[in-house]
Amino acid sequence: MSTPEERLATLGIDLPSPPRPAAAYVPVQRAGDLLFTAGQVASGADGLVAVGRVGAEVDLDTAVVCARQCAVNVIAQLKAALGDLARVRQVVKLTVFVASDPGFQSQHIVANGASELVGQIFGDAGLHARSAVGAASLPLGSPVEVEAIVQVDPA
């Protein structure tokens, strides 16, 4: 059985340095055996993957890519907090926020970009509950933001 790190390598994903908080918060907070990540926007090495609202300035396919990048950033935060992604017992829940044009109604499809990657990386431990929420706008103009609740092995 492969590890989450091996699955990342198989997919050609090099985790970035975890993004620093853009305001007054911590990137990960632990409560017992649960980790709560702060929302991660769709930023990569060259900045935001896209800017704007889905259904207006950003198309559906690009939004799915943005959600995937948000999930990469969530995983990078988990790696920084845990040291070893094999310590993840269960991804409990993802919340996916989608900056949406008023007529856009496919937030759940956008959210699949994050959910599918989490499933690929964590296998059965990546099966999670999820909310996909439309928003008027998100920080820095990101089309998507993702946060996670994850159960982990004791410290």
Residues 106-132: tens digit of each pLDDT: 999 999 999 999 999 999 999 999 999
- Other residues' Cβ atoms within 10 Å of the Cβ of residue 63: 29
pTM confidence score: 0.96
Please give the structure tokens belonging to residue 4. 């989450």
Residue with structure tokens 């959210």? 111
Three-state DSSP class for 20?
coil
> Are 23 and 136 within 8 A, CB to CB?
no
* pLDDT band per the 50, 70, 90 thresholds, residue 145: very high
pLDDT of residue 45: 87
* pLDDT score at 33: 96
Instruction: Name the DSSP class of 106.
Output: -
Least confident of 12-21, 57-66, 77-86, 116-125: 12-21
Cα–Cα nearest to 74, from 125, 35, 34: 35
CA separation (Å) from 133 to 1, 7, 25, 113? 34, 28, 22, 14
* Domains, in order of start, for the chain: 4-18+29-152 (3.30.1330.40)
Of 146, 135, 147, residue with least CA distance to 53: 135
* Short-list 70, 86, 4, CA closest to 38: 70
Contact 75, 68 (CB under 8 A): no
Task: Give mean pLDDT, residues 80-104.
Answer: 97
What confidence category does residue 89 fall into, taking pLDDT thresholds of 50, 70 and 90? very high
End-to-end CA distance of the chain: 23
